[in-house]
Amino acid sequence: MEANELKTVASSGAAAGPAEATAESAGAGSTKRLDGLEQVAVHDKVIEALRTCYDPEIPVNIYELGLVYEVRVEPTGEVGIKMTLTSPNCPVAGSLPVEVKEKAQAVPHVTAVKVDLVWEPMWDPSKMTEAARLQLGLF
C-alpha cells in the first residue's frame, strides 16, 4: 500500500470538517449535500488535481512526493487539506499552498477549501511513493 493512501480521508460526518465558514462557502450557492459515493468521487478528483502541482525544484508532483498528508471532503463540499513542504525554507512556501487551494477549488462540487501547512511530521524522502522514488532514481 502506498504511503499516501493511508493519509487521505473522505469524511462521513459534517462535524469533523473545516470548522470555519469562509466567504467562499457562503457564496457557493450549493445547498445539496454530497452522499458518501459523491464524497469519494470528489476526493479522487481533488487528488487528481493535486497531482498537477509540482515543487519546481523536484520534477515529481506534490502528491507523489508525499507532501500531502490528508485530503478530507465533507458532505457540504468543503475540502480540508493538510500538507507540508520539503523544508521550512522552501522557496515556494508562499505560492504552493495557494496553488493547491486554487486547483482543489476548481474541482466540481467543491464549495470551499482550507489548506493547512503543517510541519509535523516533518517531510523526508521516505514519504515519497515508490513511483516517485523510481522517477528520481532513489532506489
- Count of C-beta atoms within a 10 Å radius of residue 10: 20
Task: Find, among 102, 103, 110, 113, the residue nearest to 30 by Cα.
Answer: 110
Residue 35: predicted pLDDT: 93
Instruction: Decide: helix, strand or coil at residue 116.
Output: strand
The domains of the chain, with CATH numbers, are: 3-12+33-136 (3.30.300.130)
8 A C-beta contact, residue 97 and residue 63 = no
- State yes or no: cis peptide before 121, omega within 30 of 0: yes
Residue entry with cell 519546481: 56
Residue 139: predicted pLDDT: 72
Mean pLDDT by 10 residues, the chain (139 residues): 43 40 42 92 98 90 97 97 93 94 98 97 94 88
Residue 18: predicted pLDDT: 40
pTM for this prediction:
0.78
